[in-house]
Chain A
Amino acid sequence: MTELEGYAEGIDALARRLGMDYYPVDFEMAPASLMTEIAVYGLPVRMPHWSFGVRYIHQLVRQSMGHSKIFEVMFPGDPCRAFLMDGNSVAENALVTAHVLGHADFSKNNQLFARFHAMAGGNIVETAAAHAHRIQLAIEAHGVERVESVLDAALALEAHIDVGGELHRARYPEFVAQKAQPVDTAFQSRFKQLPGTEEPVAQKSGQVRAPVPPHPEYDLLWFIANYAPELEQWERDIFLMVRTESFYFYPVFACQIMNEGWASYWHARLLREADFLPQPLYLSAIKAHSDVVRPFASGQQTALAINPYHLGFTIWERIVEKHGIERAREVRRDEDDFGFIRNWLDEGLAKEAGLFVYETRPGDEIRVASKDINAIREAILGPKFNFGSPRVAARELKHDGTLTLAHDHASDGRGLDVTRAKRVLDYVHRVWRRPVKLATTNERNEAVELAA
């Protein structure tokens, strides 16, 4: 047994004693190169697409400039899969082991994670690898260009799923019951009494063909997979694979602050209470902890971003201190970042942490704009709203196959970036193969319709 394995077992036993509840965790040592790729793809084996290549280069540059150091990655499931970086010291990896157990506890118990687990099963790593394999087969069968154009469209709409909806959904009902005859108004009953020809009695078919979609449909990936007029089976398959992965990414995205904070709270506590760790190792692990859980880079006074580790950690410490660990566990179960920040980030905490809202004006001048607690909460949560994307719904499918998408510019506050929207529309058009339209507003708030 290696030194690290010994510590890991001790930490595991301690975690169970402290009431943590998680699926078993499989740890694997991985080289830095794999950690980099996981940071880029979000999963250890994922479908190929050129856009990941761009992110990969950016990540390499960031790492070479020292802006980004990856300690661990963890994939929830049963069992959970975690990767430790083989270049890290034993102290760092002991810390990471404890941190991962925090994530494992979170992902088993948080309702959003648990919901995905129930819908998709707890083996996202294998699922994504199987997707990658199927896409490879599609490339061999249909050529990289064709597969790529499907992925261009599907990945561009990656965030456009209905996060509250089901992963496995049936198609819309084909028919709906006919609407009841409108009740006669006083005028109509008198009108009927007039002499003249009988009104033709409306035929009672009982059912009429339902319009598609019956309501604005926000799950664009699902809608295209199911209702695109000329989609091949393998193309549909790709859309559904991308959609499954998006459902997996949503809880990770929507609970980032809570989840990282929870894991940081637990790694700090586990290490503190792990009396079997040698003192020097504890000290270097705690040093690593303070490097991760700090609001801004050393030597700086302000940061134009919130460190989710630090913010989450601060809030959890306060909850445990004021309301006890049991209440904290309820919060972990019930909230996502929206509820967590709105309910638990209070004025005092924001003041202690020095949170503020800043504004960037034309010319790149940046000023502190406000320290109002509600403004701070919304500035933190704004980028997370609707999976970080504008609200765009499928509105109408015409008989000739024309698809009309509409952007909720009223609720989003302004229109879409028209250039990019046009390009996304071009991607979609290539798989939809019939006209595609998108309604939004321009910078002068006038309605515009893009078409491809």
Chain B
Amino acid sequence: MTIRIAAETPWYDLFSRGARDWLRHNEKVRDAVKDTLPELLSNSDLMTGSGSRTVAVPVKFLEHARLRLAESQVQQGAGQGRGEPGDVLQPGREEGGEQGQAGGTGDGEIRFVVELKLDEIVDWLWEELKLPELKPKRTATIDQAEYVREGWDKRGARSRLDRRRTMKEAVKRHAIQGNSAAPVNEEPISLVNDDLRFRQLVRRPSPATSAAVIFALDVSGSMDEAQRRLAKQFFFFALQGIRRQYAKVETVFLAHAAQAWEFDESQFFQASSSGGTVTSSVARLALEVMEKRYDPARYNVYFFYASDGENAAEDRDEARTTLAQIAELVNYSGYCETGGVATFRPRDTQLAEIFAELKGSGLAVGTSHLASQDDVWNAIREFFTEQSKE
């Protein structure tokens, strides 16, 4: 009989199989989280803000399922110690008390949190959906003159003295004058006026790099909670995609029923009204906002509109005119119709017809239908592929 003590570092010191399998588990958890991402993200008000925020997702351990008997009401086990039949070993929880807080049952109660960066999520989505980058409007290159640095000069204001460049010039001059044999680090190099270099600024027009996104939502009685949630998810991801492209993105939230109002983001999705649906009201408001704050000549404007498509019949012409006006001004206008399943619809809704018409006339318009979670991705894909084709 021998007792062996390994002379060299044994293999098991170099490699932990437990850790390897744990990492694999975590990878699977991340995948699982990604699958439910849209659901998770639509739950909080994430739309404004810089995008550096993280989303902490509490997750359970994945369970490798086994065949097991269903739990019975009364579970039995064998125990050991003092006790006569009828003795209470552990009192039951109070009715209505804190459930599940009872200190845990040893195992199965450990939870952990996966932290995901919002930017990473969006990057991941873009890769996953194989979406192209957006193109800014070509005509939006006009004004916005800006000073940019360009070149150096021997004269200029003190504040623009480029010390590094000046020193370089001095060293060059010394070298040319044949003093380079002297140990450089002992003798400080003297400067003369000729060595001075100043940075120059030039006025240049630069392309507009800011975008404005106008979200318009139908909040009339016919839009239910689920439809609004889908619209919100679509808006969220559309905004994230636009943020990837532009340095500065501003948002406008408009809601309408028979008339239209502007909201801030926090109230936007809570807004509801029992009135009828008059689309032209929100279209006019959007035009007004563009005129006052986001001139389409200076901004890349995107217009997204979500509705169930049922507009008041008498508003038809007015809606078409105003929506066409918007479509001509903005980079892109997207229309999402919510509710129902597209294929079971007997006919196109009024708004779907209008947008199809606008699209037919060569304007940058996209339409899509949101009936379920998956449609959000299709709509996003559709919108970004269309846009980059322009």
A residues contacting B by CB (< 8 A) are 2, 4-5, 8-9, 12, 24-31, 33-34, 36-37, 40-41, 44-46, 48-54, 56-62, 67, 84, 86, 97, 144, 152, 155-160, 295-296, 300-307, 310-311, 353-371, 376, 379-380, 382, 389-390, 392, 407, 412-418, 420-421, 423-424, 427, 442-443
Residue in chain B with minimal CB distance to A38? B12
Q: Is the CB of A366 within 8 A of B65?
A: no
Q: Is the CB of B80 within 8 A of A354?
A: yes
Which residues of chain B are within 8 angstroms of A40 by Cβ–Cβ distance?
18
Residue in chain B with minimal CB distance to A295? B80
Q: Is the CB of A27 within 8 A of B2?
A: yes
Which residues of chain B are within 8 angstroms of A34 by Cβ–Cβ distance?
10, 12
Q: Is the CB of A37 within 8 A of B69?
A: no
Smallest Cβ distance from A289 to chain B, in angstroms? 18
Q: Is the CB of A389 within 8 A of B12?
A: no
A305 to B24 Cα, complex, angstroms: 33
Smallest Cβ distance from B79 to chain A, in angstroms? 5
Known: A50-B62, A361-B92. A368 touches B87 (CB 8 A): yes
User: Mask for B1-35, Cβ within 8 A of A = 1, else 0?
Assistant: 11111100010110011111111111010000000
Which residues of chain A are within 8 angstroms of B108 by Cβ–Cβ distance?
58
Q: Is the CB of B13 within 8 A of A31?
A: yes
Q: Is the CB of A357 within 8 A of B76?
A: yes
Smallest Cβ distance from A272 to chain B, in angstroms? 20
B151 at the binding interface (Cβ < 8 Å):
no
Which residues of chain A are within 8 angstroms of B64 by Cβ–Cβ distance?
49-51, 54, 152, 155-156
What are 29 A-B interface contacts by the 8 Å CB criterion? Answer: A8-B1, A8-B3, A28-B3, A31-B12, A31-B13, A50-B28, A53-B18, A54-B22, A54-B61, A300-B81, A301-B81, A302-B79, A354-B82, A359-B75, A363-B92, A365-B90, A365-B92, A380-B78, A382-B76, A389-B66, A390-B68, A412-B69, A417-B67, A417-B68, A420-B66, A420-B67, A421-B65, A424-B67, A427-B65
By secondary structure, the A interface counts as mixed
Known: A48-B24, A421-B67. A362 touches B73 (CB 8 A): yes
Which residues of chain B are within 8 angstroms of A31 by Cβ–Cβ distance?
12-13
Which residues of chain A are within 8 angstroms of B24 by Cβ–Cβ distance?
48, 50, 53, 144
State which size class the interface on B falls in.
Answer: 35 or more
Residue in chain B with minimal CB distance to A383? B77
A28 to B71 Cα, complex, angstroms: 42
A224 to B80 Cα, complex, angstroms: 42
Interface residues of B in 77-125 (CB under 8 A from A): 77-93, 95, 102, 106-108, 110
Q: Is the CB of A358 within 8 A of B110?
A: no
Q: Is the CB of A304 within 8 A of B66?
A: no
Q: Is the CB of A366 within 8 A of B72?
A: no
Known: A29-B4, A306-B80. A58 touches B89 (CB 8 A): no
B247 at the binding interface (Cβ < 8 Å):
no
- Known: A46-B17, A61-B107, A302-B82; 8 extra A-B contacts, CB below 8 A, are A49-B64, A51-B25, A57-B22, A353-B80, A356-B80, A392-B67, A414-B70, A420-B65
Residue in chain B with minimal CB distance to A7? B3
Q: Is the CB of A48 within 8 A of B20?
A: yes
Which residues of chain A are within 8 angstroms of B176 by Cβ–Cβ distance?
none
Q: Is the CB of B4 within 8 A of A366?
A: no
Residue in chain B with minimal CB distance to A52? B21
